[in-house]
Amino acid sequence: MNIVLLGSGNVATHLGRAFKMAGQTIVQVWSRDIDHARELADTLAAEAISEIDDVSASADLYIISVKDEAIKPLAAKLKVGDKLIVHTSGSTGLEVLDGVSSRIGVFYPLQTFSKSKAVDFRQIPIAIEANSPEDSAVIRSIADRLSEKVLEINSDKRKTLHVAAVFACNFTNHLFAISQELLKANNLDFDLLRPLIAETANKIQQNDPEDVQTGPAVREDIETINAHVEMLRGNPELMEIYTKLSQSIVNLHKRSEG
């Protein structure tokens, strides 16, 4: 299958690599910035282009992997007839591609990608969608080559999956950043927390998070909570986050007990 990859960011980079490893051919990599296009295209033995008019009309699949807000304007300029066009966004509906082609779909890999860090694509869930059963099958067959965990869900469910991922990944990472700031202010090394963080993620690979919740909030240890709030008094933002999350832990705990 001949694929044109539109985009050169983290998702495009990892998808390109995974497709190539799965034996697909990336014929072109498009990016607004030709240097970015070249950087990725070179590793994929693909042609680098930065003009949307240079996109080949003879590929089998067009993957739009750009920032959410850039999908629609980019797709509107794509003139490839009724070829299969997909985007890779969790938070964008299928309908953003309406009118671009009669064959549209979504190919959303649920993972946090950094260019420099390899990931095992076999374990990454891929949420797919298409506007016809035939193209669902086409997209599924491509996704199955990359991952063991392909699921077909509609745009609403995909958006829920995406917002859940924001809590589980983006916000989690920010809590790590907050903890690092707190340590830095006291000349303590972030290395001290790395084993704890690894174990926190490790624990819920086999357990439900609710069942392994620890800390002062779930114990309703008001004295410790108050002492922590007092320690954070100089930083109203952190104090507020501390209070909200502690309250939310208490609330969830009460709901499950009730």
Q: How many CB atoms lie within 10 A of CB 71?
A: 21
Counting contacts by CB under 8 A, is residue 25 touching a copy of itself?
A: no
The single residue among 77, 79, 244, 254 that binds a copy of itself, judged by CB under 8 A, is 244
Of residues 50-109, which lie at the interface with a copy of itself (CB under 8 A)?
A: 67-69, 91
Q: Which CB sits closer to a copy of itself, 11 or 59? A: 11
Q: Which listed residue (78, 85, 128, 165) binds a copy of itself by CB under 8 A? A: 165
Q: Which is nearer to a copy of itself, 42 or 181 (CB)?
A: 181
Q: Pick from 59, 52, 22, 58: which is nearest to 37 by CA? A: 52
Among positions 2, 35, 170, 254, the unique one binding a copy of itself when judged by CB under 8 A? 170
Query: Which residues between 184 and 243 bind a copy of itself (CB under 8 A)?
Result: 185-186, 188, 190, 192-210, 212-219, 221, 223-224, 227-228, 231-232, 237, 240-242
* Token output for 126: 């891929």
Q: With contacts defined by CB under 8 A, name the span among 36-44, 46-54, 76-84, 153-161 that binds a copy of itself.
A: 153-161
Task: Give the three-class secondary structure for 102.
Answer: coil
| Distance of alpha carbon 159 from alpha carbon 68, whole angstroms | 12
Q: Which of residues 100-139 bind a copy of itself (CB under 8 A)?
A: 110-114, 117, 119, 123-125
Contact status, residue 63 vs residue 44, Cβ threshold 8 Å: no
Residues in contact with 29: Cβ distance below 8 Å, sequence separation at least 6, in sequence order: 4, 5, 8, 12, 16, 37, 40, 41, 44, 46, 47, 48, 49
* Closest separation in Å from C-beta 170 to a copy of itself: 3
Angle between helices 236-257 and 172-184 (to 10 degrees): 130
Least Å distance between CB 110 and a copy of itself? 6
Q: Is the dihedral of CA 63, 67, 70, 71 positive or negative?
A: positive
Instruction: Pick between residue 45 and residue 188 the one whose CB is nearest to a copy of itself.
Output: 188
